[in-house]
Amino acid sequence: MKSSPSSKSNCRGETSDRLHKTENPFLEFLESIRHNLISFNLLECRQNTNHHFKYKVLQEKISLGVINRISCDACNLSFQAKSFEIQNHCLFFIYIFRGDCEIAEGNQSPEDIREGEFVFYEALQKITIKSDKRVDFILALLSEPYVLTHTKHDPELYCGRIFKSKSAANKLFSSVLTTTFKSLPFLPLDTHELVLDGLFSYLRPSFKELEVNTALTTQTHLDFLWYKGNEVIRRRFKDPSLQLSDIAAELTVSKQYLSQAFRQRGTTVHKQLMGFRLKRASVMLSEEHCRHFSVEEIAKRNGFKQVSHFSRLFKEEFGITPSEKRNQSVFY
C-alpha cells in the first residue's frame, strides 16, 4: 500500500506522460494503471477523499487480455480503450470484490454495482466508476471472441447489464473467482494463465440464466427462435454436417420460419454458424495451451472438414491467415 499527503488530484489522459515525475500517490496510482493497461486512455479521474490516498494494483496478463485487481480509496475513474491499439474486438469486465460503486457507460445515468456483482462493457465506450469508500475490484480488458467461446454465449447481447449477486449462478462464479484470486499468489507463475483461462468458463451458468430469462420475456416467437437457434449452434457447432434443416428439425419449425428469425437480426443461420466457428478457432490459435494443436486440428475441432476451406474463410473474416494469427496478440 502507498500513502500520501492529503490532497485532491485530477488527471486527464493528455497529461499522463508527466505523471511519473510526481510524488502525489493518486497520480502514481493512475500511472500504475496506465502502465498495466497500455491500450486505454484514462480520461477524467479524481480522488474523492482528503486523507492519505492508499492503493494497490496487481496485474495478470494472459494471451487474450489483461486483468488488473485494484484496491483503492474513494475516487472517480473514467477510461476508454484506444481503438488503434486493439487488434481484436475487446470488452471491459468489471467485478466488485468489496465495497459499493456507481458505474456508468458514456453519458448514461449511473447504476449501483455492489459486492459480488459484475458487468461487461464495450471497450470503446467511455466507462466511469465512482466510489465514496474504499473499493476492491477487477478491471479487465478481454478479447470478445475469447469470452464468447469460453462462455458459449455472446457477451455483446448483455453488455451494460449488471449480473446481480443474489443469483445462484452468479454466486457460483463469484465463489470461484474469489477463491482463484486468493490462491494465485501461491501458485507458480507459469500456471496463472491456465488457471485464469479456465475461470471464465464458470460464467456459462450466469449467461445461460440470463439468456433463458431474456428468451422468456421476448415479445415475439421469432425472437425466441433466435435465442434457441443460437443455443443449438453453440451446442452442435463441431458437427461438420450441421445445417439449417438440422437446427429447424430440432426446434420443430420450418426452415423458412427459422430463417426469418435470423433475417430479422440481419444475418442467416449459416453466417451465424460460420461466425461462431471462426471466432472459436481464432481464440484457440491465440491460447497458449492450444499451441500443440496444428491448424488442421483446430479446423476440425471447430466443424471444418477441409483445412483449405477453413483457411480461406478465416482470411476473409479476419484479414490474416490462421498461421499469422498464431503470432499475433490482442494488442499491438
Note the CATH number of domain 10-209: 2.60.120.10
CB crowding 192-212: b at 16 or more within 10 Å, else e:
bbeebbebbebbbbbbeebbe
Gap between the Cα atoms of 140 and 244, Å rounded: 37
Gap between the Cα atoms of 65 and 39, Å rounded: 10
CA-based end-to-end distance of the chain? 31
Gap between the Cα atoms of 326 and 173, Å rounded: 30
pLDDT, residue 7, reads 40
Instruction: Name the phi and psi angles at 156, rounded to 5.
Output: -60, -30
pLDDT, residue 214, reads 73
The position carrying cell 480503450 is 81
Residue pair 121/160 in contact (Cβ under 8 Å)? The answer is yes
Q: Where in the chain is the domain with CATH 2.60.120.10?
A: 10-209
Gap between the Cα atoms of 88 and 39, Å rounded: 12
Q: Where in the chain is the domain with CATH 1.10.10.60?
A: 218-326
Q: Which grid cell sits at 275? A: 461466425
Q: pTM of the prediction?
A: 0.77
pLDDT, residue 19, reads 39
Average pLDDT for runs of 10 along the chain of length 332: 41 37 81 72 87 90 85 94 66 95 94 96 92 95 84 82 91 95 92 87 89 73 89 94 97 97 95 94 85 94 96 94 82 48
Q: Nearest-CA neighbor of 177 among 96, 295, 66?
A: 96
- For the 218-326 domain, the top CATH level (class) is mainly alpha
Q: Nearest-CA neighbor of 129 among 177, 72, 50, 58?
A: 72
Gap between the Cα atoms of 97 and 213, Å rounded: 26
